Copies of this chain bind each other. A is one copy, B any other.
Amino acid sequence: MLVVRNIGQLATPRNGAQVVPYGIETIPHAHVLIEGDRIISFGVGDAPERTAECETLDAGGGCVVPGLVDCHTHTVFAGSRENEFVKRIQGKSYAQVAEEGGGIRNTVNAVRQASLDELVGLTLPRLKRMLANGVTTVEIKSGYGLSLDDEIKMLEAVRRLKELQPIELVGTYLAAHAVPEEYTHKRSAYVDLVCSEELMGRVAREGLAEFCDVFTERTAFGVEESRRVLLAAKEHGLRAKLHADQITQIGASRLAAEVRAISADHLETIDAGGITALKEAGVIAVLLPGCSWFLGVAQASAREIIDAGLPVAIGTDYNPGSSMVESLPLCMSIACTQMRMTPAEALVGVTTNAAMAIGRGSRVGRIAEGMQADLVILDVENYAQWSYHPGRNCVRAVIKKGRVVVNNSTT
């Protein structure tokens, strides 16, 4: 058994099912008792007597929150695109940058050239830094392979990485991220491949992914193509996610509702009808503050979405083109300062709502009896101070499945 004691403030979403209103329960002077990989109790004051023989972690009066969940990332990639970053600052459009050899295809070329071992080696330090920021569960998408072998290679990298480090990883199949160059003049053949037994079927059979995502956008896959991919995925037991309403409004949110997606992500251009559709279908709205911020464009209307009663999750969208932001705590701060989300809404967005966006709401994202013991111990007094300190790593220690995996409290 492990007891976390001397907690100045324990802060957790109240209830995984009731995601609106965004309630954070706080307990001052608290403790958490852990047995194996589960929380067995928590409450005010020091732990009960039987904990005398427990291993103890002193929170030093800091705040303790659930381990963070990053529910939308592209963390497996190769190459670096700072040159495009500079070109965009100098005024070139994303389309111009793409014409000059930039864009997703740049990363696709780098990923295709990388071996499985190289992809694993490039991703490990990224995950180590994410863990140091308090992130204990991460969703990772394929989508830079765009061929049978390379999509499998990316998801195989995710599977290997599960064994090599403490973060719990969730694979998402995103072959429908872009039409690869060699299929430019035969789009439907690429959609065939995406939906094929040899690729989608194998991903499902081998358990390489739990979800299937599509970049539904004028420049990527239209609503008809997206529907075809997501319905095929459903047949294979892969639940739908969508990159929806990011740049243009082509009805992607409505499609998300229609196919009963678990989440609709981005939503920078969502309209009132899209919000209503998502709400009625019970789809989680995943907002990606780091992406619009990194691109210097307008954020999704978080207040409108929240005030309409939709549960909002927050992810990093970590990727080398549009969001080189691997810090989920920084995204909480961006949500607060740029989208007028409160620190409570931001914390719910990176814990229980993010867990629900990847089908883990009943196991992670809250501090409650029987939940998995994923905890972050902070060196600040209350959870609001975390969002209030942008760019500072406030993490003192991290517990994953009952095991202390980061501990800075002795340094």
Contact = CB atoms under 8 A, between A and B. Distances in A.
Interface in A72-103: 80-83, 85-86, 89-91
B86 A342 contact: yes
Given A326-B392, A388-B324, A390-B324, A296 B337 contact: yes
Interface in A366-384: 381-382, 384
| Copies of the polypeptide in the assembly | 2
B82 A391 contact: no
Contacts of A327: 390-392
Interface residues of A, number: 39
A350 interface: no
A325 B385 contact: no
Contact of A336 (B85, B325, B341): B85
A325 B295 contact: no
A80 B391 contact: no
A65 to B, nearest CB: 15
A1 to B, nearest CB: 30
A290 B85 CA distance: 20
Given A90-B342, A343-B86, A337 B390 contact: no
Nearest to A87: B342
Contacts of A336: 85, 89
A389 interface: yes
A389 B125 CA distance: 14
B294 A337 contact: yes
Contacts of A155: none
Contact of A325 (B290, B325, B390): B390
A296 B387 CA distance: 14
A393 interface: yes
Contacts of A295: 337
B325 A82 contact: no
Contact of A340 (B89, B329, B393): B89
Interface of A: 80-83, 85-86, 89-91, 129, 290, 293-296, 324-327, 329-330, 336-338, 340-343, 381-382, 384-385, 387-393
24 contacts: A80-B385, A82-B343, A82-B382, A82-B385, A82-B388, A85-B387, A85-B388, A86-B342, A86-B384, A89-B340, A89-B341, A89-B342, A91-B340, A129-B392, A293-B337, A294-B390, A295-B337, A296-B338, A296-B340, A324-B389, A326-B391, A326-B392, A330-B390, A390-B391
